[in-house]
Amino acid sequence: MFVRNIAVSGALALMVALAGCGDRDNGGKTDESSAERVSEALDICAEGRGAFANAVCDNNTLVGLDNEVRETLVAESASVSDAGAAMLVQNQTRWREAARIACGIIDPESALTPEQTSCLESEFRARIEEAAGAVEQAGGYVFQRMEVVDATPVTAEAAEAVGLTGDDVPTAITRDIRFPRIDGPQTPQIQRFNELVAQSPQFALGDATNESLDYRIAFAGPELISVRFDSSSDTLGAAHGNTTSRAVNVLMREGRPLAEADVFRADAAWQDYLTQRAVAEITRQFREDGFVPPERDVRESATKPHLWLITEDGLVLLFPPYSFGAPYVMGGTEVTIPWRDLRPYLNPAAPAPVRAPA
């Protein structure tokens, strides 16, 4: 999902040029992604950026906050290729547009109200912290955060259709989808990882559903990368939202998702062991509620590789809401089992960190 109706400004033109250079250099870095060029592309006060940009630049607090974001992203760009720098610019340009709409500034030509200005200040301050994590180095890889950010105003018709009126009507429907991308030389293995972890919105803006998805790198190494995704969605007028978690585990040398046989021996009763450990731990976690999870539900989730998070210390079994027989109000949980406890069941040829150290 992408921001609509953005004029092709100098920033976007430079972004396209940077992306083209990155493709030609196969993940290389040239003067096109220098600090000066990236700073220029991110400068909201540059000529021709539009009426909303002018409104930001006329406010000392807002332009100061935007410049803090800009400086942070320029620093982050030092670690990425031409293509990566172009994506940093693209992400920030889209984010600004979504923040405008989320703060109720539907007409970019209109003057900012005090409420809208306060909203933007809050959004920009939060963005400063986010910008510092745009690039992450782990396991010998450079991970860049990709962002698909958008917002659309809530119309009176949409609010009326679900019985919302007055202060109960939100300003906008938003979506914020994030996923990692390995920057640098795009080998077939890295290209395959990037394909497997790329995420798309599950709802159209017309569905009137707020949607967010974030990630965390749980483990990164030459043989395997494990990524946790946490998502939430709530539809306009619905009684409550929905949350869920899952994992994407990629075998880097083979360029494919992790399978059961990659972790456990086929002749071992690993399914029974995972189930028993998880039932015991979940029962302990919810002892005060008097809840004991049904073994069948726990087994169904505990044995699914897309709910396995691989860490240095052990296997984390993810149990999203509804996945272990508990009512939604109890939320989700997770169970960690150290690798040392799983040794009798593990495939000796499993990728690190699953297999025992040599």
Return the CATH number at 147: 3.30.565.40
Into how many domains does the chain fold?
3
Task: Look up tokens 């809530």; give the residue.
Answer: 154
> Are 105 and 202 contained in the same domain?
no
Q: CB within 8 A of 220, min separation 6: which ones? A: 138, 139, 140, 141, 143, 226
* 197 lies in the same domain as 245: yes
Q: Judge whether 43 and 7 are in contact, CB under 8 Å.
A: no
355 domain-assigned: no
In a domain, 170, yes or no: yes
Residue at 297 is within a domain: yes
CATH of the domain at 321: 3.90.640.20
Contact (CB, 8 A) for 98 and 123: no
Q: In what order do the strands lie in the sheet with 314-319?
A: 308-310, 314-319, 333-338
Q: Are 145 and 231 found together in one domain?
A: yes
Question: Of the candidates 268, 196, 206, which has an alpha carbon nearest to the alpha carbon of residue 236?
Answer: 206
Tell whether 306 is covered by a domain: yes
Query: What is the reported pLDDT for 4?
Result: 35
159 and 176 share a domain?
yes
Reduce the DSSP state of residue 220 to 3 states and report it.
strand
358 falls within a domain = no
Domain around 74 = 1-133
Query: pLDDT at position 14, please?
Result: 40
Q: Domain ends where: 209, 229, 257?
A: 257
Residues 149 and 237 in one domain: yes
Query: In the prediction, which pLDDT does 27 show?
Result: 77
Residues 112 and 64 in one domain: yes
Q: Is residue 352 part of a domain?
A: no
229 with 269, same domain?
no
pLDDT in tens, the chain (358 residues): 333 333 333 334 443 444 444 444 467 888 878 999 999 999 999 988 899 999 999 999 999 999 999 999 999 999 999 999 999 999 999 999 999 999 999 999 999 999 999 999 999 999 999 999 999 999 999 999 999 999 999 888 888 888 888 877 888 999 999 999 999 999 999 999 999 999 999 999 889 999 999 999 999 999 999 999 999 999 988 888 899 999 999 999 999 999 999 999 999 999 999 999 999 999 999 999 999 999 999 999 999 999 999 999 999 999 999 999 998 889 999 999 999 999 999 999 999 999 877 6
Are 252 and 269 contained in the same domain? Answer: no
Whether 70 and 166 share a structural domain:
no
10, part of any domain: yes
- 257, 277, 293: which is the final residue of a domain? 257
Domain boundary among 225, 257, 289: 257
Check if the beta carbon of residue 82 is closer than 8 Å to that of residue 32. yes
